Amino acid sequence: MREKIIGFFDDVVKEMKKVTWPTKDELKDFTIVVLIATLIMAVFIYGVDTIVNLALRYIL
């Protein structure tokens, strides 16, 4: 059992060495994209929520 656990962590280390990590500039760009996409989705959901709320108030 111990050998399997050690083998697992050895494989994890080997795979992590194969990973291509983003550069600092790429990471900044990706973060900005995620923040903008999140903001757009938040505004969209707020708008839909407001419209549905107004429609339900009108109906009821």
Q: Against a cut of 0.95, is the pTM above it?
A: no
Question: What pLDDT is recorded for position 54?
Answer: 97
Does residue 14 belong to any structural domain of this protein? no
Residue 2 belongs to some domain of the structure: no
Backbone angles phi, psi at 23, to 5 degrees: -75, 170
Domain span including residue 35: 20-60
pLDDT in tens, 9-38: 999 999 999 999 999 999 999 999 999 999
pLDDT, position 49: 98
Q: Is the pLDDT of residue 60 over 90?
A: no
Residue 12 lies in a domain: no
Q: Which residues contact 30 (CB under 8 A, 6 or more apart)?
A: 22
Per the structure, how many domains does the chain have? 1
What CA–CA distance (Å, rounded) separates 10 from 1?
14
Q: What's the maximum distance between 2 C-alpha atoms anywhere in the chain?
A: 68
How confident is the model over 39-52, as pLDDT tens digits?
999 999 999 999 99
